[in-house]
A and B are shown apart, each in its own frame.
Chain A
Amino acid sequence: MKNIAENIKKFKDRGRKVVGCFPLYPPLELFHALDLTPITLWGLRDFIPRVEHSDRHIQPYACSVARRLLEFVFAESGAALDGLFMYNACDTLRNLPEIIDCGLADVGRALPIFKMHLPMVPPAQPEWPAYLRERIERLIRDLEQAYRVTFSPEKFRQSVALHREMRELAKSLETRVAEGFLNYGEFSRITTEGWFTCVEDQILVLRKALRDEVGAENALARKSRRVVVSGILPPPRRMIRDLENAGVTVVGNDVASQNRALYYSPPLTDNPVDYYVDFYQRHYPCTTLLYTADRRVFAIRELVSGVQAQGVVFVGEKFCEYEYFEFPHLDRVLKNMGVRTLFLDVSIDDDEHAAAQATRIETFAELLDSAGAGGFHDQ
């Protein structure tokens, strides 16, 4: 994919309205069922190299996810959007709707922004489902009114089926990575581009990738130097190349835009309220879903054990507090399992540190060959 704007234009040419969503786990099926095309504005690194518009509205100590998201919405590439949707996430993202309003006003534009509060208390607490149900019902009403569309249970069921298929295909593709038949770089490219396209196109791409085993020629079924990568975004392409050049095979991921997002699909239903209560309750643990914290350490341990990884590479998105608060504890947990760890910072100007990071990756790769556990921190 060269240009997200071209993709948006393609959807609009098909008569669909396009809603940009953030952060990572929006109710995609609902938008789709209302004949809207949701794209998830996450992981814009490969498409938004500079952030000059954004820098007029947000300080440089905001993470690159937020800065690139603003840039996309403010710049011409985002002009074709028909709306935005966000639910509560971190301290930076929750401020973005009004910053977006200001930035768009500067260029004489405006967009409807739909906001939803996703409960963050443990799902076992009794008020959780009732509150979420009302938020979902209100969102449906707001979308129907704003876009003059009507919710159809039948369409919702079809949409759920499509999204289930997409997630199952993505998980199959991930299994191919773990088995060494597909390199992680290709998997990462395919899944990242999937966020900016419609579910039907995602399914076609994933089916083709599974059929053709795209990237298989570069994949190696190694029994050593097997690692899991973790982060709110996948590693940048050049970092994936560095890992491959160092003889490291990514056999699993705890990446928010990949495994965390694709892991769970509720059963088929035509009831969106039941669907999303289930979806968010049982979602794969993520640092951004505060209520999943107690399950997260267990999930990481299970993932690492399941793919027999010798190491975990934490790709820290600089200034993402949610991720950074967890690193020291996860480091200890993994060390106790005999798993080595590497922490790498990725920032908006990360190319400046590329050579140093490549060296650390090489050293880490050599450490994976030696016995015993231990962390190797990129400090």
Chain B
Amino acid sequence: MTNEATVKSGHQKSEAGKRLSTIMFSDYVNLHQRARDGAFVVWIAIVVPAELFAGFDNVVYGVPESHAAMSAGKGVGPLQCEKAERLGYSLDLCSYARIDLGTAFDGGKDSPTMGLPKPHLIVSNNNNCSLLVKWFDIYHRTWNVPHFLLDVPFCYEPQSARDLDYIVAQYRDLIRTIETLSGQTFHIERVREALEHTRDALASWKRFLKTAASRPAGLTVFDSFVQMAPFLTSRGTKTLAEHYRLLAEETEENIAKGVFPVPNERYRLLWDNIAPWHQLSKMSSRLASLDANLIAASYTYCMGSLEGEFDLYAYDGGDPLRYLARTQNFSICPHGMTLRFQAMRRAIDALGIDGVIFASNRSCKVYSVMQMDLLKRVTSELGIPAVMIDVDHADVRKYSEEQAFTRIEALLELIEARRKEPKSLPGRPA
């Protein structure tokens, strides 16, 4: 147990938190302003490599999924979902999609950012989430906006050289498409520069996440969830690199000063799925009251890594398109179970995880449909207790806090019981 005299709670808004608000506000204001001033506007899926747009003089991008997450976090998720449902979109569809459709077809009303400026081009991909292609097709059909699809093979195993070439060829098509539609010329050296910022940002991001290895952990996963946001809206910028550097430094300084988000941390947990955006504050507080800390998430540790890995895969200054293609599968959803399990094992070992919460999320089948077997593998092969709860990432109407916490508390009891066993499981400290 940590000496409570030297430990302070870190729940007050940190400098990094304040800076984050400023960056996000600035990103959305800038997006709307530049769009009004005639910039070429692209809407992208979250894993479309935004550094490519830095290669043009005046291309800006909006990220509907990021906007939907923010809307859910600000409490307007159900309101926007209901608008989409009234238009005929089923309650069974992804809640990000329903929030986005509800927002877009209501002209940005009730959005924390006034929605997104209307696009000149929509770019989706099918490796992170293939339903997103259908979602973006709705705008393509309704507004007659071109829709460019990046076709990226799913990774049951690490990406093949042939698949990498295939992705690079599609980037070249995308660049030509934007040049044609926008009348602007592409400059590869600017993408290289953007990638250098991304490299620095991701190195700091990994540093930040590794503060979870401290006991107590230097962060909660809720910090990392919210701090992901500028990676989606400011990717490839010096601002992002600087922000993540300060975030890592601030978190390391807090550890040195004995400031921890869950000072009495007794249970170190890992989260598997998208963040429960509507529950960040409530879940964080309730877990802390149980001396439990979610210190890692597959959703956040994948940033900056290759499929199946936990450590940083840094840009080496080479061909920007090949680096972007190699990291096109960085997020968890394009990974098969074997790769996900491999990365999770590495996270568990690196951070000293006591238990895993699998958040079964009916809005995100691609993340969730394999968790039952993944859970079995974590418990049987790693000897780590795990539990599955039902959470929709953005639609609070599909979440029951009491049901979730009944299971989470059972998980904590199981961890406690394991600790009292006379002999620990092989390879696992009691």
Q: Is the CB of A325 within 8 A of B366?
A: no
B125-133, B237-245, B253-261 - interface stretch: B125-133
| A122 touches B (CB below 8 Å) | yes
| Assembled-state Cα–Cα distance A91/B366 (Å) | 5
Q: Is the CB of A321 within 8 A of B94?
A: yes
Q: Is the CB of A134 within 8 A of B162?
A: yes
Contacts of B154 in A (CB 8 A): 88, 94, 117
Q: Which residues of B pack against A, CB within 8 Å? A: 87-90, 92-94, 97, 126, 129-131, 133-135, 137-138, 140-142, 149-151, 153-154, 156, 162-163, 166, 169-170, 173, 333, 336-338, 360, 362, 365-366, 368-373, 376-377
Q: Say whether, besides A59-B360, A61-B362, A319-B92, A326 and B134 are in contact (CB < 8 Å).
A: yes
| A246 touches B (CB below 8 Å) | no
Partner of B362, one of A59, A102, A134, A287: A59
Q: B178 CB to closest chain A CB, in angstroms?
A: 15
Q: Is the CB of B131 within 8 A of A90?
A: yes
Q: Is the CB of A329 within 8 A of B138?
A: yes
| Assembled-state Cα–Cα distance A62/B368 (Å) | 10
Q: Is the CB of A325 within 8 A of B370?
A: no
Partner of B149, one of A89, A290, A326: A290
| Assembled-state Cα–Cα distance A97/B339 (Å) | 13
Main SS of the interface on chain B?
helix
Partner of A88, one of B135, B153, B368, B372: B153
Q: Is the CB of B94 within 8 A of A291?
A: no
Q: Say whether, besides A119-B151, A325-B135, A59 and B372 are in contact (CB < 8 Å).
A: yes
Contacts of A126 in B (CB 8 A): 169, 173
For A95, A98, A318, A329, which residue has the most chain B Cβ atoms within 10 angstroms?
A95
Q: Is the CB of B142 within 8 A of A329?
A: yes
| A297 touches B (CB below 8 Å) | yes
Partner of A325, one of B93, B129, B338, B373: B93
Q: B335 CB to closest chain A CB, in angstroms?
A: 10
- B-facing residues in A313-371 (Cβ within 8 Å): 316, 318-319, 321-322, 324-329, 331
| A207 touches B (CB below 8 Å) | no
Q: B332 CB to closest chain A CB, in angstroms?
A: 12
- Can you sample 7 A-B contacts with CB below 8 Å? A102-B337, A115-B156, A120-B133, A120-B151, A127-B166, A131-B162, A325-B135
Q: A300 CB to closest chain B CB, in angstroms?
A: 12
Q: Which residues of A pack against B, CB within 8 Å? A: 56-59, 61-62, 66, 88-92, 94-95, 97-99, 102-103, 115, 117, 119-122, 125-127, 131, 134, 287, 290-291, 293, 297, 316, 318-319, 321-322, 324-329, 331, 377
Partner of B153, one of A56, A62, A117, A291: A117
Q: A370 CB to closest chain B CB, in angstroms?
A: 22
Q: Is the CB of A92 within 8 A of B88?
A: no
Q: B355 CB to closest chain A CB, in angstroms?
A: 20
Question: 4 tightest A-B contacts by CB?
Answer: A328-B88, A91-B366, A325-B134, A98-B337
In the complex formed, the residue of A with least CB distance to B87 is A328
Contacts of B173 in A (CB 8 A): 125-127
Q: Is the CB of A90 within 8 A of B336?
A: no
Given contacts A59-B368, A120-B151, A291-B149, 20 further A-B contacts (CB under 8 A): A58-B372, A59-B362, A59-B369, A88-B153, A91-B129, A92-B365, A97-B336, A99-B337, A99-B373, A102-B377, A117-B163, A125-B170, A127-B173, A131-B162, A131-B166, A293-B133, A321-B134, A325-B89, A325-B135, A326-B134
Q: Is the CB of A121 within 8 A of B151?
A: yes
Q: B387 CB to closest chain A CB, in angstroms?
A: 14
Q: Is the CB of B92 within 8 A of A324?
A: yes
Q: Is the CB of A329 within 8 A of B366?
A: no
Q: Is the CB of B134 within 8 A of A102?
A: no
Contacts of B156 in A (CB 8 A): 97-98, 115
Contacts of B369 in A (CB 8 A): 58-59, 62, 66, 91-92, 95, 99
Contacts of A56 in B (CB 8 A): 372
Contacts of A325 in B (CB 8 A): 89, 93, 97, 131, 134-135, 137-138
| Assembled-state Cα–Cα distance A310/B393 (Å) | 41
Q: Is the CB of B126 within 8 A of A120?
A: yes
Q: Is the CB of B373 within 8 A of A57?
A: yes
